[in-house]
């Protein structure tokens, strides 16, 4: 028999767990479906989230999960939600969503998407293995630990200007252009004003801790590297539901209103999949909003009146 929940949360990391906690505390029946591929699973330390600074990010997620599962109205399914379908109204005037995980069907009156995103890493030999260890994207997450040592920014496009102009606050910075773009006069002046050194030679590979091998055979050693990585939502669920999307500089995200409801009534979205700026703190705050507002719509009805 198909089990029916008040809310199904797809994605059981920081955003989804935070949403679930609000709903569990309202004694609502909640199912969390999670395939366990957190965006920060490559890093062994997480920074910038109060009370958890420096903690292993998998420990933060595991603690949150075990606290959530203390609530008797919460179920957990490990796996990938493949499809979500909106099935119109029941005889009680309630909208129902069908969620499929392999051959199992689950139903709910509301959906919260906390899908996160996947970083699409530049194709540079040696970069992937060092992602989250000595190659990063977020200066606030990992800049401080470089102890003001030398920092290399590997350009991916003109958007890398942003990294290059920020990072001198964390250490002496070299912008490795790697033929990704050609700075104009204004950009060159801005880089010079921040003391950024330019390296125009193409990058061949990354070796050692953060040693950049250039095509001409030379090698530049850094304390840490920053690279621009576009991101993508890995699931087709937003398309299946016909959700409005929004373009951010590095990828497409789910459009929500201030209450974290999407363009489709009854579907909420939170965390990295639904915001241009990413952090655990922001994902947790977003999840809190999505959880509370999904609950509110169960109590008082949806925007569409259903």
List residues binding ligand FAD (CB under 6 A).
10-16, 33-40, 42-43, 46-49, 80-81, 114-116, 119, 131-132, 138, 141, 234-235, 237, 271-272, 278-281, 283
Q: Residue for token digits 């990585």?
A: 229
d(CA 121, CA 156): 10
For ligand FAD, give the closer residue by CB, 39 or 213: 39
Least Å distance, CB 143 to ligand FAD, is 10
**Cβ atoms of residues 44 and 60 within 8 Å:** no
Least Å distance, CB 306 to ligand FAD, is 24
For ligand FAD, give the closer residue by CB, 37 or 89: 37
Least Å distance, CB 238 to ligand FAD, is 10
For ligand FAD, give the closer residue by CB, 12 or 171: 12
Start-to-end CA distance of the chain, whole Å, equals 25
Fill in the DSSP letter of residue 182. -
Q: What is the 3-state secondary structure (H, E, C) of the chain?
A: CCEEEEEEEECCCHHHHHHHHHHHHCCCCEEEEECCCCCCCCCCCCCCCCCCCCCCHHHHHHHHHHHHCCCCCEEEEECCEEEEEEEEECCCCCEEEEEEECCEEEEEEEEEECCCCEECCCCCECCHHHECCCEECCHHHHCHHHCCCCEEEECCCCCHHHHHHHHHHCCCEEEECCCCCCCCHHHHHHHHHCCCEEECCCEEEEECCCEEEECCCCEEECCEEEECCCEECCCCHHHHCCCCEEEECCEEEECCCCCCECCCCCEEECHHHHCCCCCHHHHHHHHHHHHHHHHHHHHHCCCCCC
Query: What is the number of alpha carbons within 13 Å of residue 36 lying toward its C-beta?
Result: 8
Least Å distance, CB 216 to ligand FAD, is 30
For ligand FAD, give the closer residue by CB, 65 or 213: 65
For ligand FAD, give the closer residue by CB, 35 or 211: 35
Least Å distance, CB 34 to ligand FAD, is 5
Least Å distance, CB 5 to ligand FAD, is 15
Least Å distance, CB 197 to ligand FAD, is 25
For ligand FAD, give the closer residue by CB, 131 or 181: 131
Count the residues in the chain. Answer: 306
For ligand FAD, give the closer residue by CB, 13 or 297: 13
For ligand FAD, give the closer residue by CB, 29 or 38: 38
Least Å distance, CB 260 to ligand FAD, is 12
Residue nearest to ligand FAD (CB): 271
């Amino acid at each position: 028999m198909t089990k029916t929940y008040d809310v199904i949360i797809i994605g059981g990391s920081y955003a989804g767990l935070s949403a679930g906690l609000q709903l569990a505390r309202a004694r609502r029946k909640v199912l969390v479906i999670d395939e366990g591929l957190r965006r920060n699973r490559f890093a062994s330390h997480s920074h910038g989230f109060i009370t958890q600074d420096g903690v292993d990010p998998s420990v933060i997620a595991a603690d949150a999960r075990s606290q959530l599962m203390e609530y008797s109205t919460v179920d957990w399914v490990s796996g990938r939600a493949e499809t979500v379908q909106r099935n119109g109204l029941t005889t009680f005037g309630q909208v129902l969503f069908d969620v499929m995980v392999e051959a199992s069907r689950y139903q709910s009156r509301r959906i919260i998407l906390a899908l996160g995103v996947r970083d699409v890493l530049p194709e540079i030999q040696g970069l992937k293995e060092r992602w989250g260890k000595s190659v990063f994207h977020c200066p606030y997450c990992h800049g401080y630990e470089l102890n003001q040592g030398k920092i290399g920014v590997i350009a991916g496009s003109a958007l890398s200007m942003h990294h290059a102009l920020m990072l001198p606050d964390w250490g002496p910075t070299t912008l490795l252009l790697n033929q990704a773009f050609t700075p104009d006069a204004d950009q060159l002046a801005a880089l010079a004003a921040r003391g950024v050194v330019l390296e125009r030679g193409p990058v061949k590979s990354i070796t050692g801790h953060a040693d950049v091998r250039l095509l001409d055979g030379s090698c530049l050693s850094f304390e840490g590297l920053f690279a621009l990585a576009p991101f993508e939502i890995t699931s087709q669920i937003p398309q299946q539901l016909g959700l409005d999307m929004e373009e951010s500089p590095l990828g497409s995200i789910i459009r929500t209103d201030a209450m974290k409801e999407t363009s489709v009534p009854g579907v909420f979205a939170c965390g990295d999949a639904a915001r241009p700026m990413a952090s655990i703190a922001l994902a947790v705050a977003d999840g809190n909003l999505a959880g509370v507002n999904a609950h509110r719509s169960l109590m008082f009805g949806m925007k569409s009146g259903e």
